[in-house]
């Protein structure tokens, strides 16, 4: 079993880190540059920065903020939000990002995933899938979770895999911010049908939840926000717990 990764996520709006529940009721969680530096110091495996209002506001991700965060971290750094053109990818990589994540634009134009992979390599292409369980099925949502689509999450995961995505960031909208545990069923299903890493997101509340998503959910990485931002859990303590539980984890 490959080592599992712990990834703090910085959801940024108007230059500040925010966090809500089920993608709503956002509250301030601090300065993204300071938080990014803190998580790097705490030995997070990677960092994820999502400009969550960029698509809704029809603008591009703040390259200047990406530069500020990149200068203060020494761990792999994924950036997303409002990315709809291959040219934007190059600018953000130059600004210091290691990987780029796309969501809404990829749903509208799936070839964007293929173009990004061809231009920059699959290793830097992360497709974020916001998914919601409704009427007995998991569906894809876009535009920060505000727009429903008729696309089944499993079908979309297969498609982006075939288009060249290097990873999938899977967020359960039903579980987001609830601290009730990850969506183990859909995470496990997607992890079993594709052969690229799946990052589980949405619902982390206890250390046990992380162990469950790595074992029962078969995720390759787990992403969390509020429990780290509001100091409910330290990354080092979480890693020690997982190691003691037999989960291979990076130092």
So what's the pLDDT on residue 51?
77
Structure tokens at 238: 């979480």
The domain containing residue 96 runs over which residues?
5-244
Tell me the pLDDT tens digit for each residue of 117-160: 999 999 999 999 999 999 999 999 998 889 999 999 999 999 99
So what's the pLDDT on residue 20?
44
So what's the pLDDT on residue 39?
87
Handedness of CA 128, 32, 181, 20 (dihedral sign): negative
So what's the pLDDT on residue 250?
85
Q: What is the CATH number of the domain that holds 194?
A: 3.20.20.70
DSSP string, the chain: -PPBEEEEEEEEETTEEEEEETTEEEEEEE-HHHHHHHHHHTT-S-EEEEETTTTTTT----HHHHHHHHHT--S-EEEESS--SHHHHHHHHHHT-SEEEE-HHHHH-THHHHHHHHHH-GGGEEEEEEEEEETTEEEEEETTTTEEEEEEHHHHHHHHHHHT-SEEEEEETTTTTT-S---HHHHHHHHHH-SS-EEEES---SHHHHHHHHHTS--SEEEE-HHHHTTSS-HHHHHHHHHHTT--B--
Which tops the pLDDT comparison, 108 or 69? 108
Whether residue 144 lies inside any domain: the answer is yes
Active-site residue numbers?
Answer: 11, 130
Tell me the pLDDT tens digit for each residue of 189-225: 999 999 999 999 999 999 999 999 999 999 999 999 8
- CB-based contact 15:62 (threshold 8 Å): yes
β-strand pairing of 137-142 with 147-152: antiparallel
Whether residue 251 lies inside any domain: the answer is no
The pLDDT-based confidence of 55 (bands split at 50, 70, 90) is very low
So what's the pLDDT on residue 27?
47
- Total domain count, the chain: 1
Whether residue 235 lies inside any domain: the answer is yes
Rounded-to-integer distance, Cα 118 and Cα 95, Å? 20
The pLDDT-based confidence of 15 (bands split at 50, 70, 90) is low
pLDDT above 90: percentage of residues in the chain:
65
Whether residue 250 lies inside any domain: the answer is no
Whether residue 249 lies inside any domain: the answer is no
Whether residue 190 lies inside any domain: the answer is yes
Tell me the pLDDT tens digit for each residue of 164-190: 999 999 999 999 888 999 999 999 999
Whether residue 84 lies inside any domain: the answer is yes
Whether residue 46 lies inside any domain: the answer is yes
Tell me the pLDDT tens digit for each residue of 230-239: 789 999 999 9
């Amino acid at each position: 079993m490959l080592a599992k990764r712990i990834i703090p996520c910085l959801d940024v709006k108007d230059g500040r880190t925010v966090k809500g529940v089920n993608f709503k009721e956002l509250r301030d969680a601090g300065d993204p540059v300071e938080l990014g530096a803190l998580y790097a110091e705490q030995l997070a495996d990677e960092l994820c920065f999502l400009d969550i209002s960029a698509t809704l506001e029809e603008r591009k991700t703040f390259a200047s903020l990406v530069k500020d965060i990149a200068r203060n971290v020494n761990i792999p750094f994924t950036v997303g939000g409002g990315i709809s053109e291959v040219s934007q990818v190059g600018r953000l990589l130059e600004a210091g990002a290691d990987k780029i994540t796309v969501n809404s634009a990829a749903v509208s134009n799936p070839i964007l995933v293929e173009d990004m992979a061809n231009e920059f390599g699959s290793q830097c292409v992360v497709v974020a899938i916001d998914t919601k369980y409704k009427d007995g099925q998991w569906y894809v949502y876009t535009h920060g979770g505000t727009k429903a689509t008729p696309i089944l999450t499993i079908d979309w995961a297969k498609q982006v895999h075939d288009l060249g995505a290097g990873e999938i960031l899977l967020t359960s909208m039903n579980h987001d911010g609830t601290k009730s545990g990850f969506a183990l069923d859909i995470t496990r299903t997607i992890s079993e049908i594709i052969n690229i890493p799946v990052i589980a997101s949405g619902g982390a509340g206890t250390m046990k939840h992380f162990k469950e998503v790595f074992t029962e959910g078969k995720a390759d990485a787990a992403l969390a926000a509020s429990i780290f931002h509001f100091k409910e859990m330290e990354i080092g303590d979480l890693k020690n717990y997982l190691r003691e539980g037999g989960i291979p984890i990076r130092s």
